[in-house]
Structure 1
Amino acid sequence: MSVTTRAEARTEPNQEQEIRTTKPTTSDKVVGGVSHVVLVIWSIVVILPLLWTVLSSFKTTAEIFKSPFGLPANWNFDNYVKAWVGNNFGPMFLNTVIVVGCALILVMLLGAMCAYVLARFSIPGSRIIYYLMLAGLTFPVFLAIVPLFFILQGMQLLNTLPGLIITYVAFALPFTVFFLFSFFKSLPYEIQEAAYVDGAGEWRTFFQVMLPMARPGLAAVAIMNFLGLWNQFLLPIALNTSQPNYVLSQGMAAFASAAGYQVDFGALFAAAMITIVPVLIVYILFQRQLQGSVSQGTSK
């Protein structure tokens, strides 16, 4: 009995200490309140323009100017039909999906392989290669437009979708390597050594062991690359002047500028929604992959 009472006496202070440490202080409440207020304001800033764009995409131009914040009188998809068929957004959407999809697959594959080798192996010149990748992040893309133009022209890839894909891969590769380098660096070496002991080679270790462990990092950088490539405007406008190969960002600019002062704002908002919706869908699909951590992945 005495041993039990001593144990209880020792555990009670620890329980009280845990309760005291978990009890929020006044400063914690202030920080939490300010954080919630900032998040609410930020949500309003993001949601309200998107909601206004959705409502305006179902209105006519006259209705937008007459009642810009009201509900549409008729909920129809005429504006979407005009944008998709009348302004040739269907082929441009397909071109964008092909260019961004192929570029994203290539940049994720090449970036993950490059970051893995630079982070996990000691090879001559690895630090120089890594710093050159970092230098690529600091180089303004508009300074490379003229050299890229002549390079693609010499390769017979100017104004073509493959040329745009290669350019997108080169544009997104430095950031991908930089982001995944520290991620692969933090993975435990014990699991890699265990794969070697089980007889796995380098390729099998990378694709079946290390790459699944890096899934949260891959999902995060994939979302960032997708957003950057989908909304890219400068590179296609300079390197892809052939109208049959236009992407959505070029189509939006051409649609707004060609109409002059007689813009069909309802169709323009519908075109904007056509451009925005795929980004939202991809983010919703990938956000599930962002949950979890490296420790959870290794425990499985």
Structure 2
Amino acid sequence: MSTDTRAAVTIDKKKSGAPQEIHTTKSTTGDKVVGGASHVILAIWSVIVILPMVWTLIGSFKTTKEIFASPFGLPENWNFDNYISAWVDNNFGGMFVNTVIVVGCSLVLVMILGAMCAYVLARFSIPGSRIIYYLMLAGLTFPVFLAIVPLFFILQGMQLLNTLPGLIITYVAFALPFTVFFLYSFFKSLPYEIQEAAYVDGASEWRTFFQVMLPMAKPGMAAIAIMNFLGLWNQFLLPISLNTNRDNYVLSQGMASYASSAGYALDFGQMFAAVMITIIPVLIVYILFQRQLQGSVSQGTSK
């Protein structure tokens, strides 16, 4: 019997129903206590997070009078009047479109630039690469509010103050350091053999990156895309300081402006509807991309 045949026989025995030693572990009392306490804490945290959202959703179908008369009761009439009023009368529709444009363009740019920058810094030895990487890390430690005044004058000098393109550039600069930091270790851990095999097959650097290495980093790209989307969608300080034109308002500053301008005459039903308009896109994006987080680098390489 040849060596190949013996190897095949050995593999067949493993695949067959041959008895194998099974290692079992017994849970100790401490493990059970920790597991039970963890489940209790997670249940309490879920209630703390879910109940306010459910209350806001129910309140978005109520009038202000109903909210004060019965805060935790169901609305008498289930209709979308508050959503229509918030969308049309208070221009949340226009602010929603502005937010989608700003966040969408910023997310695409920061993902492309961040992935390319992290890939080059992680896979190639170029002069000054470590310095560039440390400068990216320094950008994570720099408080955003300290950069407001310089950003104001920079955008003013570029004629981009109070414009959507200016806000997009600022968002990209704000999210780029964390994106590079997150993807750097991810690209660093990818096997070099696959990259070398692509070079042997005649692939260029661009083709190797976009068709070979980037698909392998799909789980990491999905994770950082969700985190960037949440951070950019909920950004408040940058637009409130650099975007004072009401026609270019995004949802976060529009809601703050609506609540402060209405004062004690605030329509809480419309405000709750505006809150749901702001929250629902975030939930939809997370639901669509959460399965992408369940991948791994090994799954990407096996494909």
Q: Over aligned residues, Cα RMSD in angstroms?
A: 1.2
After superposition, where does 1:26-105 map in structure 2 within 5 Å? 26-105=29-108
Q: Aligned pair in 2 of structure 1 residues 200, 264: CA closer, same or farther (>3 Å)?
A: same
The answer to whether the aligner puts 1:175 opposite 2:178 as a matched pair is yes
- With normalisation by structure 1, the TM-score equals 0.93
Distance in 2 (CA, whole Å) between partners of 1:115 and 1:164 is: 23
Aligned partner of 2:272 among 257, 269, 273: 269
Deviation of 1:14 (Å): 3.6
The answer to whether the aligner puts 1:116 opposite 2:131 as a matched pair is no
Aligned to 2:217: 214
Deviation of 1:25 (Å): 2.4
Deviation of 1:183 (Å): 0.5
Aligned to 1:241: 244
Letter in 2 for 1:246: Y
Letter in 2 for 1:118: L
Aligned to 2:150: 147
Deviations 1:139-177 (A, max 9, x none): 000000010001000000000000000000000000000
Distance in 2 (CA, whole Å) between partners of 1:293 and 1:46 is: 29
After superposition, where does 1:126-205 map in structure 2 within 5 Å? 126-205=129-208
Distance in 2 (CA, whole Å) between partners of 1:130 and 1:194 is: 27
Deviation of 1:13 (Å): 9.5
Aligned to 1:232: 235
Aligned to 1:282: 285
Aligned to 1:7: none
Distance in 2 (CA, whole Å) between partners of 1:219 and 1:27 is: 36
Deviation of 1:27 (Å): 2.1
Deviations 1:16-54 (A, max 9, x none): xx13x3x32222222211111111111111100000000
Deviation of 1:185 (Å): 0.6
Deviation of 1:299 (Å): 1.1
Aligned to 1:259: 262
- Structure 1: 5+ residue runs without aligned partners? 1-10
Letter in 1 for 2:270: A
Letter in 2 for 1:255: Y
Distance in 2 (CA, whole Å) between partners of 1:44 and 1:167 is: 36
3-state DSSP of counterpart to 1:75: coil
Distance in 2 (CA, whole Å) between partners of 1:194 and 1:183 is: 19
Letter in 1 for 2:55: W
Q: Aligned pair in 2 of structure 1 residues 13, 279: CA closer, same or farther (>3 Å)?
A: closer
- With normalisation by structure 2, the TM-score equals 0.92
Deviation of 1:107 (Å): 0.2
Aligned to 1:6: none
3-state DSSP of counterpart to 2:78: coil
Distance in 2 (CA, whole Å) between partners of 1:62 and 1:137 is: 46
Give the paired residue count: 286
Deviations 1:73-111 (A, max 9, x none): 110111001100010111110000000000000000000
- Structure 1 vs Structure 2: percent identity of aligned residues? 83
Deviations 1:107-137 (A, max 9, x none): 0000000000000001010000000000000
